[in-house]
Homo-oligomer: A and B are copies of this chain.
Amino acid sequence: MKLERARGTRDFAAEDALLRQQVVGTLCSVFELYGYNPLETPVIEKFETLASKYAGGEEILKETFKLKDQGGREIGLRYDLTVPMCRFIATNPNLKMPFKRYQIGSVFRDGPLKIGRYREFMQCDIDVVGVRPMAADAEIVEMAQEAFERLQLSVVIKVNNRKLLNGIIDAAGIKADKAETVILTLDKLEKLGKQAVEKELAEKGASAAAIRKLVLMITVQGSNSEKMQKLEKEVNSNEGKEGVEELRQMLECLDNQTNVEFDPSLARGLAYYTGTVFEAFLNEPKKPQLKEIKSAVAAGGRYDKMIGNFVGGGREYPAVGISFGLDIIEDALLLSGREKKRTTTSVYVVPIKAVAEAQKIAAKLRQEGISTDIDMSNRDVKRNLEYAAAAGMPYVVFVGEKEVKEGKLKVRNMKSGEEKVVSLSEAAEELKNFK
């Protein structure tokens, strides 16, 4: 038998787990600053919940891990955090609105494996449910901007509005029943380029004139307000006009530090968006090593119908949310030169015959709040130094009989190699300041 991980899964050893903790911690502190609270739902859901016609759709259902419990009940592993949130809202009818929650957890998809695609991966979702005005959309965009600032990644947040996009498609002379499939094609513009998109639109039955007009509109140039003004003149349908108005209201709510760019070609693949859509992209011209990251680092939008459809009973649940790509954010941080912290341990105590004394010193360092490891295997100095270096611990403290007699200990800075003999309180001071 070969011991190995299941296909498409990963381990996160200390340095990877610590980076993830750091990113998640930063994100959560921003979410909480904006008044969002945590929700945890189970990994296992009833299969019929996951398969609801208002849930993730057929494509995703094909990739859903499905099993039966001992009672023969069909269950599945969640493929996202949105469907469980809808189920939570349905099973908690007295929940106060607005409901502002964040959730970070593993989701599962039994799909084909590619580089950067896993069968078990972490999602990080923030949603506000129950707010119709565009202030909510603006809040989510602003929060995303602040989260990336704190992560020290510069981003541009591209925004669009589905109603406006429908209006553009209508103005191009394409019938409303084709809007959804056209949007799926437009979503590929960034990835495939203009020509491929034009070809696909033609294959879907759009006339050459319609395609020309459509592409002209979605690639309109200028400042955000110039683009809006130009498109406002083109769009005739009520839905399109409403979209422009929503977009304007949202942009008005944003403070002027938010690096937001109206991009009428932004589509977002998912069918359930009803208004605002947005995607955050890295904007780091001075860091060419980040150029290879072309995908969005966070994305989301407004979906006013989905939860109500899902829950049923006629009640409406307007909602807007965003999802952060933890894997890609971590990649970006590492490419930016962020060093992985290899351990949380500040110091490794090495007893040189003075085992009992060394244990007391370790206990005292811990009382001072200093993360302390200690050799418990009575190894020699050389092996202990190798161990501390391999683990990435910044300091080693030697406790020998000579030092003990003098009430001192020897502190070695593992980076510089410098050693000094100091009192316990002096050592504690240095180690604390390092932290």
**Interface, chain A (partner B; CB < 8 A):** 1, 3-7, 9-14, 16-18, 20-21, 32-35, 37-46, 48-49, 52, 63, 65-67, 69-71, 73, 75, 77, 87-88, 90-92, 96, 98, 100-101, 106, 108, 110-111, 119-120, 128, 130-133, 135-136, 139, 253, 255, 310-311, 343-345, 348, 355, 359, 363, 366, 369-374, 376-378, 387, 390-391
How far is B87's CA from A434's CA once the two chains are assembled, in angstroms? 35
Residues of B with C-beta under 8 A to A34: 366, 371-373
B376 x A44 contact (CB < 8 A): no
The minimal Cβ–Cβ distance linking A354 to chain B, given in whole angstroms, is 13
Residues of B with C-beta under 8 A to A310: 3
The minimal Cβ–Cβ distance linking A319 to chain B, given in whole angstroms, is 13
A139 x B376 contact (CB < 8 A): yes
Residues of B with C-beta under 8 A to A253: 359
A101 x B14 contact (CB < 8 A): yes
B6 x A46 contact (CB < 8 A): yes
B377 x A132 contact (CB < 8 A): yes
How far is B21's CA from A39's CA once the two chains are assembled, in angstroms? 11
A1 x B40 contact (CB < 8 A): no
B21 x A38 contact (CB < 8 A): yes
B37 x A11 contact (CB < 8 A): no
- Select A33's contact among B96, B139, B369, beta carbons within 8 Å: B369
Q: Can you spell out 26 A-B residue pairs with CB atoms less than 8 angstroms apart?
A: A3-B311, A4-B46, A5-B42, A5-B91, A9-B45, A11-B41, A13-B88, A14-B101, A18-B37, A33-B372, A34-B366, A35-B345, A37-B345, A43-B106, A43-B108, A43-B120, A44-B65, A44-B108, A66-B67, A128-B376, A130-B377, A135-B355, A136-B376, A139-B374, A139-B376, A255-B363
Residues of B with C-beta under 8 A to A38: 12, 14, 17-18, 21
Residues of B with C-beta under 8 A to A33: 366, 369-372
The minimal Cβ–Cβ distance linking A385 to chain B, given in whole angstroms, is 12
- Number of copies of this kind of chain in the complex: 2
Name A360's closest neighbour in chain B (CB-CB): B255
Given A37-B345, A42-B6, A359-B135, also A373-B100 (CB < 8 A): yes
B131 x A377 contact (CB < 8 A): yes
B43 x A43 contact (CB < 8 A): yes
B9 x A44 contact (CB < 8 A): yes
Residues of B with C-beta under 8 A to A108: 43-44
How far is B119's CA from A77's CA once the two chains are assembled, in angstroms? 13
Name A131's closest neighbour in chain B (CB-CB): B376
How far is B197's CA from A74's CA once the two chains are assembled, in angstroms? 41
Name A46's closest neighbour in chain B (CB-CB): B6
Residues of B with C-beta under 8 A to A4: 46, 49, 87, 91
Name A90's closest neighbour in chain B (CB-CB): B3
- Select A374's contact among B35, B48, B92, B373, beta carbons within 8 Å: B35
A6 x B345 contact (CB < 8 A): no
Name A342's closest neighbour in chain B (CB-CB): B37
A13 x B92 contact (CB < 8 A): yes
The minimal Cβ–Cβ distance linking A213 to chain B, given in whole angstroms, is 36
Pick the most buried of A65, A131, A310: most chain B CB atoms within 10 A of its CB: A65
